[in-house]
Amino acid sequence: MTRLALSRRAFMLGGVSAGGLALAGCASTATGVPAQQAPRIDPAYLRMYAAVPEERFPIPATDLAEIEPQFYRRVVKDPTGERPGTLVVRTQERMLYLVRDDGKAVRYGVGIGRAGFAWSGRAMIAAKREWPTWTPPAEMIARQPELEQWRRGMPPGLANPLGARALYIHKDGVDTLYRLHGTIEDWSIGRAVSSGCVRLINQDAIDLYQRVPVNTPILVV
């Protein structure tokens, strides 16, 4: 199947969505991993990351052979010590944790921003969007003139850098331009490839979106 993607080059720091919120799109800055002998994959994960045809834009099955197994979604003992309901992104681990109230956490493998673009600190999830619009800022268009066509916004879809879902991070009421969002670039999970956002497999982004309400605290370290 032909993979949809805008570019393997850097994408981020978006403009304004149809809902009036600033958006940050993140696309890749590295090529895919070399083809390797595919290991046997647990059928439970094949079901977890199966195609989602009922979505507004049908999502293909995740190519799990492109992702190291430790980055598959799973429930683990909470390693963060944060309060239940908190999101914790550990950038060195390439992991995102949603802390539960039973001493455990839902752990997601993520791709993170490359050096020079990453943000860290405590903040809140200020808004959520399904199939968000992405608009590159003027300074990004200046660096990448091919983005001029999206100056007024790139419509939602599989090729959109924000993927199927986006969660918007604000600190002290100010937009950080930092996002948790989906991606179809499965190979990028576990890598530092984007311009600053935290990217998840689209299926994981949908799962996280369903679990996390607005005003959820988040810590990025």
Over pLDDT 70: what percentage of the chain? Answer: 82
Q: Mean pLDDT throughout 188-204?
A: 92
Position 143 scores a pLDDT of 85
The pLDDT tens digits of the residues spanning 150-165 come to: 999 999 999 999 999 9
Rounding to the nearest 10 degrees, give the CA dihedral for residues 187, 189, 190, 191.
70
Looking at residue 28, its pLDDT comes to: 54
Instruction: Examine the pLDDT at 22 and tell me if it is beyond 50.
Output: no
**Domains of the chain by residue range:** 54-220
Residue by residue, DSSP assigns 126-137 as EEEEES--B---
Architecture of domain 54-220: Beta Barrel (2.40)
pTM recorded for the entire structure: 0.83
Average pLDDT value for residue range 99-123: 91
The sheet carrying 74-77 orders its strands as 74-77, 104-109, 95-99, 87-90, 217-220, 121-130, 165-171, 174-183, 198-201
Interatomic CA distance for residues 130 and 157, integer angstroms: 10
